[in-house]
Copies of this chain bind each other. A is one copy, B any other.
Amino acid sequence: MDSYRKLQEKIKTILQFQSSMGIIQWDMRTKIPPRAYPQRADQLAMMSQILHQMITNPEIGILLADVEKDNQSLDQNQKRETELIRLSFNLSSALPEKLISAEAKQISISTSRWNKAKSTSDWTIFQPELEKLLTLSKERADYLMEPTGTTLPYDALLSIQEPEMTSTIVTKVFTDLRKSLVPLVKKYTAKCREIRVDFKNYRVPIEDQRKLVTDLVNYVGFDTISETAGGRIDESAHPFTSSYFDDTRMTVHYYEEDIFQAIFGGLHEAGHSIQGQSRNPQWKWMILGGKSSAGINESQARFIENIVGRSPEFWDYYYERLRGFTNGAFEGVSLDEFVRAANVIKPTKIRVTADEMTYALHIIIRYEIELYLFSGKLEVADIPHVWNEKFGKYLGVEIENDAEGALQDTHWAWGYWGYFPSYTLGNIYSGMILETLEKDIPDWKGKLSVGSVDSTVDWLKTNIHFKANLYNP
């Protein structure tokens, strides 16, 4: 037990350090002045290096071996924690320190370049930096094959996001999905053509949208306003959530003439945020308190966004409140019209605003491109071409510029290869979770109608969030 306790102390320090880095990364995505990027790149490279030294400290290896040799006295949670530490130790030990700091630095640079490239819609600004990052990421993937027990570089990265997942499984699931979705999308797009959507682009001042989103995310349970709030809302080019227990931050990107982005993007990040805050607080400084998988994380975001947030019952109650924040913009729009517009099926260019049916196709395109890149079938320079071609083929959508095409997402700039599949896996998980919810609380939708989101959210907290990383998906 003494070795376990010592090990736990070391992990605590590591997680304190890592979560501090999380604040600095959040800052880089929300607040940093433009001139500070190169300086921040140096800082983050140095911190990544220190973190790597901390995790690969040989003392951890010795303590781990001690604990593993004699683990009968550990309870189930402690056993799981030990396994998670072992995995983390092996993964980090497989990576050379030089690679760690080179990657950290390159991520800062490519993030800054991506920002610029997106705002000018010019892939060539981003391309050389993404190429450098991809080279480093491939190197990482090669090193990680052994400790993850995978046989393909891409699978090594994938399995870090989604334990035990392989591209063989994903490809099979996604191929089936694509084959069913392409005709379905065609059919329902035609059916939805008559639905009124003009008001989606009504002008709503950003100041009003901010107030609405604040009310909305607090309504579903993400506290950003009380005296004991553990959350906040900021703005960034690409919405994301950065969460560590009592310090959880989501972002929104507001468009004056697209309030639906703020509403459903806001609900999505609120889903992440509530989950991030609702982990077992006793595990705050344990790997057990982290995420089970990226897919499970996304399932919670998409549960709130889609299953709760696009249901007629949710809007039964909340629509009047939304009207209160939008100063007459929705005066002539009935509840029914609003809900239909929120559920319209229509192929579009942008993933984060895609409807539930076309969404998976956005993901599949990204996944296929990642597979090509890692198998050497595709060069970074050709991504936009392949992207645009696939959007035409699967969705019948013509991409006119890269800002709305291959530059729309920030993931690759962050080196998040193997992450995109999680969104669709998350959608699938959320459907499975819904099945169980319906058994446990048959009237959950009725409760939404009368303004009680709590019963559903509390159920998610108890059954999913609180358990954090106790089980693999």
The verdict on A35 contacting B244 (CB below 8 Å), with A17-B47, A23-B23, A50-B17 known, is no
Tell me if A284 and B39 are in contact (CB < 8 A).
yes
Do residues B46 and A230 form an inter-chain contact, with CB atoms below 8 A? Answer: no
On whether the beta carbons of B13 and A224 are closer than 8 Å, the reply is no
What mask results when residues 17 to 28 of chain A are scored 1 for a CB within 8 Å of chain B, else 0?
101100110010
Instruction: Check A246–B17 contact: CB distance below 8 A.
Output: no
Task: Closest B residue to A32 by CB, please name it.
Answer: B247
**Within the complex, what minimum Cβ distance (angstroms) separates A278 from chain B?**
13
Give chain B nearest CB distance to A242 CB in angstroms.
11
Q: Which residue of B lies closest to A47 (CB)?
A: B20
Partner of A39, one of B17, B38, B224, B245: B245
Q: How far is the CA of A50 from the CA of B51 in the complex (A)?
A: 11
Tell me whether A253 is interfacial, beta carbon within 8 Å. no
Question: A228 and B35: CB pair below 8 A?
Answer: yes
Copies in the complex: 2
Contact A228 B34 (CB under 8 A): yes
Contact A246 B16 (CB under 8 A): no
CB distance from A355 to the nearest CB of B (A): 33
Q: Please state if A39 and B246 are interface contacts (CB–CB under 8 Å).
A: yes
A401 within 8 Å of B (CB atoms): no
Residues in B whose Cβ lies below 8 Å from that of A24: 20, 23-24
Give A264 Cβ to nearest chain B Cβ, in Å: 23
Q: Give a binary string over A43-83; 1 marks a CB under 8 Å from any B CB, 0 the rest.
A: 11011001000000000000000000000000000000000
**A31 adjacent to chain B (CB < 8 Å):** yes
CB of A40 within 8 Å of the partner chain: yes
State A44–B19 Cα separation when bound (angstroms).
Answer: 11
Chain B residue at minimum C-beta to C-beta distance from A226: B34
A227 within 8 A of B: yes
CB–CB B40/A247 < 8 A: yes
Given contacts A23-B23, A27-B27, A39-B284, contact A246 B46 (CB under 8 A): no
Assess the A19–B43 pair: CB atoms within 8 A: yes
B229 adjacent to A34 (CB under 8 Å):
yes
- Given A33-B224, A36-B230: A46 in contact with B248 (beta carbons within 8 A): no
The yes or no answer to A351 lying at the interface (CB within 8 A) is no
List, in ascending order, chain B residues with CB within 8 A of A245's CB.
Answer: 39
Inter-chain CA distance A232–B30, complex, in Å, is: 12
In the complex, what distance in Å separates the CA atom of A306 from the CA atom of B401? 52
Instruction: From the candidates B13, B38, B47, B247, name the one contacting A46 in the complex (CB within 8 A).
Output: B13
Per a CB cutoff under 8 Å, which of B33, B50, B246, B285 touches A231?
Answer: B33
A247/B39 in contact, CB under 8 A: yes
Neighbouring B residues of A164 by C-beta, 8 Å: none
* Residue A389 lies at the interface, judged by CB distance under 8 Å to chain B: no
**24 CB-based A-B contacts, threshold 8 Å:** A16-B42, A16-B47, A17-B46, A17-B47, A17-B50, A19-B43, A20-B24, A23-B23, A24-B24, A27-B27, A31-B31, A33-B224, A33-B231, A33-B246, A33-B248, A34-B228, A34-B229, A34-B230, A35-B246, A36-B246, A38-B246, A39-B245, A39-B247, A50-B50
